[in-house]
Every structure is written in C-alpha cells, then in structure tokens.
Amino acid sequence: MLALVTRPRYEETTNYLFYWAGELLREAKERKIPVIDLDKEKARRTVVESYLTKKSPDVVIINGHGNETCVVGQDGEQLLIAGQNTHLMKGRRVYIRACRAGRQLGPDIIRNGAAGFVGYVQDFIFPYDKDSVQRPLDDEYAKPNLECSNQVAISLLKGHSADEAHQEGVRAFRKKLDALMTSNSRNSAVATCLIWNMMSQVAM
C-alpha cells in the first residue's frame, strides 16, 4: 500500500490540520506504510497531480479548505476540482477533510471511478484555544474533533473500505461525545462541533 497526504500550512486552520495530519504519518510509519507527504509548498496542484499519475497511491488523504466543488492546498491554491482532475482518483480510496467536499466533489470523484470517498457535506469545524495555536496537538478544545476525524484516515491506512472508515469515524465521534457528556468538564462548543461533524460526514 502507498498513501498520499496533503498538509498545507499558511494560517490558523491549516496549521492545526498540518499537525494533526502529521499524526497520520506516525501511524503509517508504525504500520510500515510508505507515505508521500505533500506538506506546505509541496501541497500544490501540479505536484499533487504528478504524484497521483506517477506513483499511483492507493489511499489519498487531503487536508485543507474546500467548498462544494473543490479542495485547496498551500495558500488557497485549488488542488482537486470537480469536472477537471477528479479522474486522477480512479481506483483510490479518498478522504477529504475540508468543508463541503461531500456535496459535489465527492460524487464527482466516485463517478470518475474512485474506490471510495469519505468527506463532509457541511463545513468541517472545530473550536480551538487561542493560547494553544503554537501547540495544536496540546489544544484540548481542538483535540476531540481532530482526533475523531483522524480515525477515518487511520482506518483507510489499515486497508478498510470507505464505508468502514466512515463507520470508524462515526463511532469515534459518538464515543468522544459520550465521554464529554459524562465528564465534569463539559464544553458546549466541543460537543456541538462533534455532533455537527459526525452528522456531516458521509461515505460513498
């Protein structure tokens, strides 16, 4: 198996995704799964397209901002666009952690022959602590939602199907929500985001 992961980093949101997607690299290393890490300036359309064509990864994990028809990389550059380059996902299992990519982009990826897709039909959201921006992995506000969404990617790295990965993610969200609701440190913003992201996540 070969995986490709994009990790743009140019403002606060992508800074968090950059570090949390870095946890996926550690997971892959433990499982001896080779990963193409397209971080920062390497998260550009021409670079992504080149690796998809020449290296043919089995799993593609894209992190960044997005909308109904595209997901972006470094500095907001469009990486994957419905109707333009989604054919490059043929035969691959794809997870896009970005806003609204499950609306039009995901279905277009599937129409072009992808083996499976997991994404979000609404915005992917998470609260964060302004005092922890320089230490995203230590941010207890951001951690629950990013940890749960990481489970989707980890499941794909284990060789599971998109539907199985989606179910793993949903279980993680539910488990985290249950733990939060029974703890003494309830946080309504974290809980709201957990519910929102869980309900917005879809598999195809």
SS (HEC) of 114-165: CCEEEEECCCCCCCCCHHHCCCHHHCCCCHHHHHHHHHHHHHHHCCCCHHHH
Q: What are phi and psi of 36, to 5 degrees?
A: -90, 110
* pLDDT tens profile 119-128: 999 999 999 9
Predicted local confidence at residue 184, as pLDDT: 65
CATH architecture of the domain 3-203 equals 3-Layer(aba) Sandwich (3.40)
Q: Residue 54 — pLDDT band, cuts 50, 70, 90?
A: very high
> How confident is the prediction for the chain on average, in pLDDT?
96
Query: Please, what is the end-to-end C-alpha distance for the chain in angstroms?
Result: 21
Predicted local confidence at residue 181, as pLDDT: 81
Report the distance separating Cα 16 and Cα 23, nearest Å: 11
Predicted local confidence at residue 86, as pLDDT: 98
Report the distance separating Cα 30 and Cα 21, nearest Å: 15
Predicted local confidence at residue 167, as pLDDT: 98
Predicted local confidence at residue 113, as pLDDT: 98
Cα maximum dimension of the chain: 51
Predicted local confidence at residue 182, as pLDDT: 79
Residue 95 · residue 6 · CB < 8 Å: no
The beta strand positions in 8-124, using DSSP E, are 35-39, 59-63, 70-72, 78-81, 93-97, 116-120
Mean pLDDT of the 30-38 span? 97
Predicted local confidence at residue 187, as pLDDT: 77
Q: Residue 185 — pLDDT band, cuts 50, 70, 90?
A: low
Pick from 142, 139, 126: nearest CA to 197: 126
* pLDDT tens profile 142-174: 999 999 999 999 999 999 999 999 999 999 999
Q: Half-sphere exposure of 168 toward its Cβ, with a 13 Å CA cutoff?
A: 20
Q: Residue 183 — pLDDT band, cuts 50, 70, 90?
A: confident
Predicted local confidence at residue 168, as pLDDT: 98
pTM as predicted: 0.96
| pLDDT > 90 fraction of the chain, expressed in percent and rounded | 94
